[in-house]
Structure 1
């Protein structure tokens, strides 16, 4: 039995991974290649899955990250997906808060149960956000650095939002972290997708020649040729093995809010635009009292976009917020206030 190619899409929240995923799916379908997808979200609802065509087999891993809290489920999801749908290729889109090396470990575990071949670790880099984070450092910047270091292919996205000298600075930052992976500069992830060709030779990945370390918890951690990050896990990844599940993105918080009914579009947009800086990503599906349509909204780094949609099946109105140490209770109160205001207007 031929090993099924696996492609991992990595990159921080809002970088453009789902846009790339859709381009790759279309690329495969044009060649009559059967593709299956595993999508991972920290929240309780997979909203990015709304963008993917309905005839593509998909497994959703929600309310946790592949690399830790639901890591053991990845092998099961992969096995069931492959056995049921017999795809030619599988794409895994990880949550933006995940360290790719931990996901690589999880995929390696899955390889014990089935014939799979991790071909590509494509990291989508949010150019403007990397530049901004590099000025102030912090855990998120360290995570972005790890995502870049562990890539077999690099896509520096949102080039249209950078001045020429800023774009040069971003490329220098990326190259300083990973000098080996092919690098492409893009707008909306428009790039040559040959890296995903099934006939292409497998890229460098963790194997017998990889450097294997033994961490304080007693589990093996495998690093490939392109991953040269500091292996002091108690510092670089902020793992506290003595604690209860504190991992590299434990500072990332999520809030999932299900709406009781339609809300006013102007009031909702005002709420989104007034979100604190600590909330760097939000997305959801909403129905407005002053329109006849439902919308999928995307918010990343102070910019919000609304897309008119007709969801398939029974899809609830919901909003998911992702950030670092933001006041979840206060935001929940504002959302309830928005709902109550709309209810009062209707009465």
Structure 2
């Protein structure tokens, strides 16, 4: 019996990790064993540490790149590693700039398609900001195309943060989703709360004594070619352009013994907000205080206590930012 794979897609800060945590809790409550592959653009892991605090599931982490291009070969290897323990379901949480269509393609590769099957692609959307992406990324056609494919290839669209979107904005979002995917189920919600049964109800427990027999069946996604492209709607197979081009990441470690104030860090983020898509990391504000999980998503900066015991750091994801300038600002902040 093939292991079902659920792909969690969606742009940066949409709420994918929150949804994953809810699904893992629901799976555990029903006795399902899970495996997770987490992909992050930055060199330092944040979401994996969050997952460790709330779940005992087996996790494969792919850092410093995107599984639909630079980390594509590692994805297949990670899937094989998870299959050894025969979980009942595998979740793959993508980076915010990944095209889920490419992951579906990886699952058809000969060395793994006998063991896994693509069950569903779930795309999480940020209702507060989703209408602004086209204008924000107007000069990056690859990124706009990736965002659209996240919508077009989804079986389930989770419209998150609806409490931050006005009724007129909601109507425009509904029109956008209908235009790009008229068949997907759309679930409006807040804090990524959905009925887990929509994804987990029909998943059966795996036989763990032997690996399932090989099968030639697999799912292919409908590909919609774009003008000027050949062979792939994402435009980056076999060494072609990536699904994003101007997105950059920067890891900013905090020097030992440095305890900048919450106000100073927020000022740093807001000063550079026009170029930031996402920021997340772990910061200890005082020597004897708990390490705080800091997240910037859209217009919201949140702080929450964590169990993280390692050094403090911040990971920035943005568009065309000046890394040297940001590092200099960070060093000044460290000395405050």
Matches within 5 A, 1:112-127: 112=112, 114-127=114-127
Show the counterpart of 1:300.
Answer: 297
Q: RCO (CA 8 Å, sep 6+): is it higher in 1 or 2?
A: 2
Report if the CA contact (8 A) 1:253-1:325 is conserved: yes
Alpha-carbon shift at residue 233 of structure 1 (Å): 3.1
Compared CA separation, residues 104 and 231, structure 1 to 2 (3 A): farther
Q: TM-score, normalization: structure 2?
A: 0.87
Compared CA separation, residues 104 and 310, structure 1 to 2 (3 A): same
Alpha-carbon shift at residue 307 of structure 1 (Å): 0.7
What are the superposed Cα offsets for residues 156-183 of structure 1, whole Å, 9 maximum, x if unpaired?
1110011111111111101110000111
Report if the CA contact (8 A) 1:273-1:302 is conserved: no
Residue of structure 2 aligned with 1:263, choices 250, 259, 278: 259
Report if the CA contact (8 A) 1:79-1:114 is conserved: no
Show the counterpart of 1:285.
Answer: 282
What are the superposed Cα offsets for residues 172-217 of structure 1, whole Å, 9 maximum, x if unpaired?
101110000111111111111222125269xxxxx9898xxxxxxx
What are the superposed Cα offsets for residues 81-136 of structure 1, whole Å, 9 maximum, x if unpaired?
221x3211100001011111112112222664641111010000112221122455
For 1:142 and 1:122, the matched residues in 2 are separated by 17
Show the counterpart of 1:173.
Answer: 176
Report if the CA contact (8 A) 1:280-1:302 is conserved: no
Show the counterpart of 1:66.
Answer: 67
Report if the CA contact (8 A) 2:113-2:218 is conserved: no
For 2:156 and 2:188, the matched residues in 1 are separated by 11
Show the counterpart of 1:275.
Answer: 272
Alignment of 1:316 with 2:316, yes or no, is no
DSSP-derived class of the 1:7 partner: strand
Structure 2 alignment gaps of length 5 or more: 205-215
Compared CA separation, residues 165 and 276, structure 1 to 2 (3 A): closer
Alpha-carbon shift at residue 248 of structure 1 (Å): 1.9
DSSP-derived class of the 1:108 partner: coil
Alpha-carbon shift at residue 35 of structure 1 (Å): 0.7
Compared CA separation, residues 72 and 169, structure 1 to 2 (3 A): same
Show the counterpart of 1:345.
Answer: none
Report if the CA contact (8 A) 2:280-2:293 is conserved: yes
DSSP-derived class of the 2:132 partner: helix
Q: TM-score, normalization: structure 1?
A: 0.84
Report if the CA contact (8 A) 1:233-1:239 is conserved: no
What are the superposed Cα offsets for residues 236-277 of structure 1, whole Å, 9 maximum, x if unpaired?
746497xx7641212110001221123222222221221241
For 1:40 and 1:16, the matched residues in 2 are separated by 14
